Structure 1
Amino acid sequence: MKLSRSMAMLAGVASISVILAGCGSNSSQKKKTITTSTDSELTTVDLSKTTAVGTFNVLNNVDEGLFRLGKDSKVEPGIATSSTISKDGKTYTFNLRKNAKWSNGDPVTAQDFVYSWRRTLNPKTASQYGYLFSGIKNADKIQNRKAAVSSLGIKADGKYKLVVTLEQRIPYFKLLMGFPVFFPQDSKTVKKYGNDYGTSSKTQVYNGPFTLTKWTGTNLNWTLKKNPNYWDKKAVKVDNIKFSVVKDPSTGLNLFNQKKLDMAQLSATQAKQMSNNKNMISRKQSSCYYIALNQKNRAFKNLKIRQAMSMIINRKVLANKVVGGGAMDTDSFVSKGLAVSPKNGTDFTQDVTAPASMSYNPTKAKQLFKEGLQEVGLNSLHFTLMNSDTYDQKQLSEYLQSALQKLPGLKVTLNNIPGRVILSRQADHQFTATVANWFADFSDPITFLNILTSNNPSNISQWKNSTYDQLIKASNNDDGNNAEARWIDMVKAQNLALKDQAIIPLYQSGEKWLVNSNVKGVIYNTAGANYNFKNASIK
């Protein structure tokens, strides 16, 4: 997931007065309201077009798919009351509940799923998540404009029965169904608002536990309000969840201490200072922050230059001293703790082999950089590193600038900009180098590895390798029914990508939060849409 499901923590500038206005106090009369900070502004709530983690977290609570993902990503009932699978594992039949409604009163039907999937996959929509449908009948052909959208392997059998046909077994299929990209959409609403669809809370309808309110499309606070039309509204215990974008961690801490926030994210420095605070909790994330180098650039086509830039970065210092907050240094693209081998239960990161360029070695890095410059006919190199303008990411940018400029002849200029701008520029490849991130959409290594394939819209570095593409294709197709063979494909693919320095992995993120002890039942998952507030409560 980029948050750009790649930039997750992209935030806009919020003044203290705006933040305070959005929070309010949790007095005895407001015990059914949870207030929380977020470092991610909303840019859209159109599930066919977003890539941002913050948006997926909202969609996971205002909408609902065939399944919901509970604690530890356990598959739980959603719009589907039951499902059956054919013997060959290629046909799923879902029976939908008849009391599910949209917030405008329309019934949620099988056709809403058909419409939504076709809309997301339609090349005209330009969704960056269309590749997730790979394995569903004709999905790849539709993406490549070789088949009609109507040929997608999904059909409505009456109003409340949905049939999905696959080209091969998909081991993680039910997990996918709990990810917002696969949720239904009300066609009447999409057509009503046209280009404005999902650009504000009023240009969207909802079928989940909550509805989105008080979001204009540009403001930095919004509210999730209990949905009176939700089929399981009796299970929803809070009336409102109020979000405010808080850019400065000190502001968030002050608001928490003033009881104007029930949940506030801490900076690395704050987390160290408050290590014994009884309200502090850790949240690991299935993520990878990395540097993407635009490999259309002459210098970055050179492998030695890419390797040198990776080797000059001390990841232990970066993760523990600069980022902090539970971050872990990594020599992997796939995150630690995401998936284990079907053969022996080892973590994916233990089965892969990191190349020498993923280890800190300034002497070797300087040698490689000098050789790389000579090979491309340059005496020096100057580029701009683009990154988010949040507090922590500015700190990261400054550290990377200092580390990279230890390579003789390299000058790095920083450009820290707001979220909606950076996501757009990354998608259009309008950068030379950028810090990006990927957050797992589901608990399987392929959620990371897919994005480095040649034609994946999220492959912002534009690295290409035919052998890598073949390995990923095999894992998704020929070896899809053989868990061990599929695992080997994925291990080989990551080894190849890192050896060729397709990207420069930096760290796996974690967060430290202060959470009011009265807040209960908030489900947090490391992969996919992280937050599920359906059963949350506040005493």
Structure 2
Amino acid sequence: MKTSKKIISGTIIAASMLLLAACSGKSASSAGAKSYDRSISWMTTSELESLDPATAGDTASEEQIANTYEGLFRLGKNSKLEPGVAKKAVAAKDGLTWTFYLRKNAKWSNGDPVTAQDFVYAWKRQVDPKTASGQVNNYQGIKNAIAISEGKKKVSSLGVKAAGKYKLVVRFDYQVPYFKVVTAISLKPVDSKAVAKYGKRYGTKSAYAVYNGPFKSVGWTGSNLTWKLVKNPDYWDKKQVKLDEISYSVQKTPSTDYNLYQSGKLDAALLDTQAAKQLKGKTGYTVLTMGNTTYLTYNFKYKMFRNVNLRRAISLALNRKQLISTIGDYNTQAKSFSATNVVLEGRNFAKYVESHDAAGNKYLDVNKAAAKKYFAKALKELGVKKLSFNLLGDDDDVYKKETEFIQSALSQTFGSKLSVSVTNLPKETRLSRQSAGNFQVFLGGLTSDFPDPYHFLSYLTTDQPYNFGKWSNASYDQAIKASLTMDKDKRQAALLKAERIIADQQPITTLFHLGQAWMIRANVKGVVFNGEYPDFKHAYAVKN
């Protein structure tokens, strides 16, 4: 689940749950009464690391993999599950065995058929400690997966097998009701023949990989900043792919990408905060809500943070709307830990939590009078007259604005009774300190690997390695455990209970769901975002 990257995001990670309209013209053809462009120009903010699903750990690479590889399922608009390589999936009554029936017309871009053995090979390769994949956590629940990744069991013991050329059987240690969603985001197959051919070079260039998704990668040499996604003629559903190519370039400076957008050389441009303010309301201005929640984490080894009234007081003192106005109003106030792209049984879970938990939200809106009362209770319970702590954050401009805002808000509310110092460090340094538990409070974020509430909520269970604050709550742990059921009603109730415990106990203080502001041309349609990166399978551009 690439937690080393995602759990500490907080500023820039791609995307949202919506359908866009955008693009400019290149080569054209007609369809019916309308004329369509067959190519668009897109951008990303960083270089690619790899086109190998097992080793890619950066968002830019994963964006390419999402469009060039296809797993058992796909995510469509609003995170709705759609068939991928699998035509259907059947779960056993106990939920511990799933059988996936694969379509026989799925092919790799070299003409090889996509088979059940390709999934077996790829999954065993990813959990193998020798591969050192950053996505091992996505295999949680598959029999022996984590033990294998830790070197405690043999790779051959992984609970997956090919029962024939087009039938894949997966066994689990416990029920994983969200597994189909995981297969739509991760757990991609690879062609073992291609991996054998290229060896360690596999995925280090466009030419050193084969693809089974809607597009092929063309022109990436391993270090250059431009390449293309080209329609894959061997893709089983190629009739639904309308674009012939997507020209990609790396643009690290928002002012530069916007200039390219204005000159017609880019069809989409990421905006910085200042540009977003200036261009809001203009044609093409688009806000993408991403699968990220930014929040404060308290370190429970310190006695003061084990006091629930102090945590409630801090939350009540923060005016999240003012914070969002400071850093960019394309962000949205968080009233759930689960991000805005998270879906449960076809329903936006973040909105569901907010609408069903009005009472529990009382600590999530600014109320300085109440904050002072809870703070006074905390001081009395702790037996002290004043408190002080350090707030840790990254050293980029956005983080600095956020930590300064929090420091100022707490100072204005509690005066001399609370002293907050701020330490802004390079991201990697902050990461290291947070992982080692060397902090009092840190500001960070979590981005979803797959849009199911369990992904977010499981991070706060006792003994979870990414529960950096070491909070422990038996009722919460039980709710998360109870959510691992195939009973939809019981699962929904358990996950809602977990969100309510977070809102009430404030083991973390959620602040906002991350957004991005873009300029996107008004004539491309069908680009789907589900919290991380664009999916171009159904994208098309109406010719101006």
More strand by share: 2
Q: In the alignment, is the contact (CA less than 8 A) between 1:342 and 1:484 conserved in 2?
A: no
In the aligned structure 2, how far is the partner of 1:84 from the partner of 1:374?
55
In the aligned structure 1, how far is the partner of 2:353 from the partner of 2:131?
34
Picking from 102, 110, 117, the partner of 2:116 is: 110
Equivalent runs, 1:486-505 vs 2, <5 Å? 486-505=491-510
Q: Report the counterpart of residue 468 of structure 1 in structure 2.
A: 476
In the aligned structure 2, how far is the partner of 1:405 from the partner of 1:142?
49
Q: Does 2:334 match 1:334?
A: no
Q: Report the counterpart of residue 537 of structure 2 in structure 1.
A: 534
Q: Report the counterpart of residue 419 of structure 2 in structure 1.
A: 409
Quick one: structure 1 residues 309 and 198, their matched pair in 2 at CA, closer, same or farther if it must change by over 3 Å?
Answer: farther
Equivalent runs, 1:107-256 vs 2, <5 Å? 107-122=113-128, 129-139=135-145, 148-166=154-172, 170-179=176-185, 181-187=186-192, 198=203, 201=206, 204-215=209-220, 221-256=226-261
Unaligned runs of 5+ in 2: 14-22, 29-36
Quick one: structure 1 residues 410 and 281, their matched pair in 2 at CA, closer, same or farther if it must change by over 3 Å?
Answer: closer
Quick one: structure 1 residues 206 and 491, their matched pair in 2 at CA, closer, same or farther if it must change by over 3 Å?
Answer: same
Picking from 447, 450, 462, the partner of 1:439 is: 447
Give the deviation of 1:533 after TM superposition: 0.5
Q: Does 2:145 match 1:100?
A: no
Q: Does 2:106 match 1:72?
A: no
Report SS of the residue matched to 1:409. Answer: strand
Quick one: structure 1 residues 401 and 521, their matched pair in 2 at CA, closer, same or farther if it must change by over 3 Å?
Answer: same
Give the deviation of 1:397 after TM superposition: 4.6
Bigger drift between 183-192 and 444-453 goes to 183-192
Q: Report the counterpart of residue 31 of structure 2 in structure 1.
A: none
Give the deviation of 1:509 after TM superposition: 2.8
Q: In the alignment, is the contact (CA less than 8 A) between 1:57 and 1:531 conserved in 2?
A: yes
Q: Report the counterpart of residue 6 of structure 1 in structure 2.
A: 7
Give the deviation of 1:187 after TM superposition: 4.1
Give the deviation of 1:438 after TM superposition: 2.7
Give the deviation of 1:184 after TM superposition: 1.0
Quick one: structure 1 residues 494 and 323, their matched pair in 2 at CA, closer, same or farther if it must change by over 3 Å?
Answer: same
Picking from 375, 389, 392, the partner of 1:384 is: 392
Q: Does 2:484 match 1:484?
A: no
Bigger drift between 506-515 and 371-380 goes to 371-380
Bigger drift between 77-86 and 373-382 goes to 373-382
Cα root mean square deviation, aligned: 4.2
In the aligned structure 2, how far is the partner of 1:55 from the partner of 1:376?
51
Q: Report the counterpart of residue 315 of structure 1 in structure 2.
A: 320
Q: In the alignment, is the contact (CA less than 8 A) between 1:32 and 1:239 conserved in 2?
A: yes
Give the deviation of 1:508 after TM superposition: 1.6
Q: Deviations over 1:406-443 (max 9, x none)?
A: 563221032354xxx47964885486354433334444
Q: Deviations over 1:466-502 (max 9, x none)?
A: 44333212211xxx13323222322222233344433
Q: Deviations over 1:484-534 (max 9, x none)?
A: 3222322222233344433221112333332222323322334xx542102
Picking from 261, 267, 271, the partner of 1:262 is: 267
Report SS of the residue matched to 2:483. Answer: helix
Aligned residues between the structures: 514
Q: Report the counterpart of residue 279 of structure 2 in structure 1.
A: 274
Quick one: structure 1 residues 40 and 460, their matched pair in 2 at CA, closer, same or farther if it must change by over 3 Å?
Answer: farther
Report SS of the residue matched to 1:285. Answer: strand
Bigger drift between 457-466 and 292-301 goes to 292-301
Quick one: structure 1 residues 190 and 434, their matched pair in 2 at CA, closer, same or farther if it must change by over 3 Å?
Answer: farther
In the aligned structure 2, how far is the partner of 1:10 from the partner of 1:269?
15
In the aligned structure 2, how far is the partner of 1:257 from the partner of 1:369?
56
Report SS of the residue matched to 2:247. Answer: strand
Equivalent runs, 1:421-440 vs 2, <5 Å? 421=428, 425=432, 428-429=435-436, 432=439, 434-440=442-448
In the aligned structure 1, how far is the partner of 2:405 from the partner of 2:304?
22
Quick one: structure 1 residues 370 and 55, their matched pair in 2 at CA, closer, same or farther if it must change by over 3 Å?
Answer: farther
Give the deviation of 1:230 after TM superposition: 3.1
Report SS of the residue matched to 2:501. Answer: helix
TM-score, reference length from structure 1:
0.78
In the aligned structure 1, how far is the partner of 2:377 from the partner of 2:261?
47
Identity %: 39
Q: Deviations over 1:325-374 (max 9, x none)?
A: 2x22123212357446899x981233345365434345665746983997
Report SS of the residue matched to 2:360. Answer: coil
Amino acid at match of 2:75: L
In the aligned structure 1, how far is the partner of 2:430 from the partner of 2:85?
32
Q: Deviations over 1:218-270 (max 9, x none)?
A: 66554333334434444433333233444443333322111121012334544
Q: In the alignment, is the contact (CA less than 8 A) between 2:26 and 2:38 conserved in 1?
A: no
Quick one: structure 1 residues 313 and 221, their matched pair in 2 at CA, closer, same or farther if it must change by over 3 Å?
Answer: farther
In the aligned structure 1, how far is the partner of 2:502 from the partner of 2:466?
15
Q: Report the counterpart of residue 20 of structure 1 in structure 2.
A: none
Q: In the alignment, is the contact (CA less than 8 A) between 1:224 and 1:241 conserved in 2?
A: yes
In the aligned structure 2, how far is the partner of 1:215 from the partner of 1:423?
32
Give the deviation of 1:403 after TM superposition: 3.6
Q: In the alignment, is the contact (CA less than 8 A) between 2:144 and 2:153 conserved in 1?
A: yes
Amino acid at match of 2:7: S
Quick one: structure 1 residues 38 and 431, their matched pair in 2 at CA, closer, same or farther if it must change by over 3 Å?
Answer: farther
TM-score, reference length from structure 2:
0.78
In the aligned structure 2, how far is the partner of 1:377 from the partner of 1:240?
65
Give the deviation of 1:74 after TM superposition: 3.3
In the aligned structure 1, how far is the partner of 2:303 from the partner of 2:50?
35
In the aligned structure 1, how far is the partner of 2:430 from the partner of 2:120?
28
Amino acid at match of 1:330: A
